[in-house]
Structure 1
Amino acid sequence: MRGFDISPLLRSSIGFENLNRLVEYAGRIDAGDAYPPYNIEKTGEGSYRIQMAVAGFARQELDLTVQENTLLVTGQAASDNDAQERVFLHRGIAKRAFERRFQLADTIKVIGASFENGLLNIDLLREIPEHKKPRKVDIAAAGTGDGLAIAAE
C-alpha cells in the first residue's frame, strides 16, 4: 500500500501542493520504529505538548532542533565508565541513541521544553498571522464600483 491517489482531493483544494509529499512521507514511516514512545496532547486553545518517555537519559544527552517546519529530537547516551563493572541479568530499559522527527505546520511554534521524571515535555503554540485569519468578503452589487471589498473581522 505504498501508492495513494489523492487527485480527487486536489480537485477541490487550492494551495495544497505539498499534500502529496506529506502523504508519501506518512506512508514511509516504519511502524516498528516506536522508540522512544511519545504522546501528543492538546493542552489548551491553540497549545499542544509532545511528551516523550526517555527513561535513562540525562537532560544533557537530549537535543532539540527546529529547522523550517521540522522538529528534530535526538538522544545520544553518554559513555558509561562503570559499564565494565556492571553485569545485567535483564536489561529492559533501552538507552539507545534515537532520532525522532515531527513535521510542524507553518503556524506552530516551539515555545519551550522541560525534562522531569524521565519525561521530555515540548510545548507548542499555534500562532496564526493576521493575514491568515478568517475575514469577511463583501459582495458588491453588479455595476457598482470596481469589484469586491474585503472587511477584516
Structure 2
Amino acid sequence: MNRIDLTPLYRSSVGFDRFGSLLDAAFQTEKSSAGYPPYNIEVIEENNYAITIAVAGFKQDELDIQVENGVLTVRGKKEAEENKTTFLHQGIASRSFERKFNLADHVEVVDAGLADGLLRVHLVKEIPEAMKPKSIAINSAAPRAIEHENKDKAA
C-alpha cells in the first residue's frame, strides 16, 4: 500500500487535513477499478475542463451521471441480453461500471454529450466574485490615527 507523508504540508498550511485521505482514496480507486472504462481528463482552456470516457456499446439510457458533495459519479449499467451469443473471442467489454471523480471547490458540471461511443462531460470552474483577487489602493496621505477610548480612565 502506498502511503504519502504529508507532515511537511501540515506544518505550513491550515485546512488541508482532508487532502491525505483524498490521496489515499485516489490510490485505492485506481487499483480497484482496473482501468475500465478508459478515460481522459482535459484542460480545454483556463477554468474549462472535460472528462471523456470510452463507453462503447452503452446506450444513453444505460448511463447515469450524478454530482453529490463534490464527487462526480458516472455509472454505466448494461441491460442483460436475452440472446446469449457464443463468442470465439470477446474483446469488447460489456460489463457495468462506476467511475468517481473528486471535483475541486467551485467546479460545476455544465453538460454532457454522447457521440461515437464517447461520453464527454464538460466542467467549469467558476470562482465567486468575493473570492477573486482584488487590488487595494494605496493612499498617498499619511495614515490617520485611530482613536481608542481607554475604559479605565472613564471610571
Instruction: Give the Cα separation in 2 of the matches to 1:25 and 1:35.
Output: 17
Instruction: Give the Cα separation in 1 of the matches to 2:25 and 2:131.
Output: 26
Structure 1's unaligned 5+ residue stretches are 147-153
Q: Tell me by how many angstroms 1:135 deviates.
A: 2.6
Instruction: Give the Cα separation in 2 of the matches to 1:131 and 1:21.
Output: 29
What pairs up with 1:4-153 in 2 under 5 angstroms?
4-31=4-31, 33-83=34-84, 86-136=85-135, 144-145=145-146
1:90 is aligned with what amino acid?
Answer: H
Q: Tell me by how many angstroms 1:138 deviates.
A: 6.4
Q: Tell me by how many angstroms 1:137 deviates.
A: 5.2
Q: Residue 83 of structure 2 aligns to a residue in which SS? A: helix
Instruction: Give the Cα separation in 1 of the matches to 2:35 and 2:28.
Output: 14
| 1:40-96 deviation digits (Å, cap 9, x = unpaired) | 11112211100000111111100001101000100110121222xx22111100010
Structure 2's unaligned 5+ residue stretches are 148-155
What is the alpha-carbon root mean square deviation over aligned residues? 2.2
| 1:20-46 deviation digits (Å, cap 9, x = unpaired) | 221221232343620000001111221
Deviates more, 1:100-109 or 1:128-137: 128-137
Q: Tell me by how many angstroms 1:10 deviates.
A: 1.6
Judging by fraction of residues, say which structure has more strand.
Answer: 1
Number of residue pairs matched by the alignment? 144
Distance 1:22 1:128, change over 3 A: same
Q: 1:149 corresponds to which residue?
A: none
Q: Residue 135 of structure 1 aligns to a residue in which SS? A: coil
Instruction: Give the Cα separation in 1 of the matches to 2:146 and 2:124.
Output: 41
- TM-score norm. by structure 1 comes to 0.83
Instruction: Give the Cα separation in 2 of the matches to 1:97 and 1:138.
Output: 57
Instruction: Give the Cα separation in 1 of the matches to 2:60 and 2:146.
Output: 63
Instruction: Give the Cα separation in 1 of the matches to 2:96 and 2:27.
Output: 24
Q: Tell me by how many angstroms 1:16 deviates.
A: 1.6
Instruction: Give the Cα separation in 1 of the matches to 2:25 and 2:106.
Output: 20
Percent identity, aligned pairs only, is 42
Instruction: Give the Cα separation in 2 of the matches to 1:100 and 1:79.
Output: 20
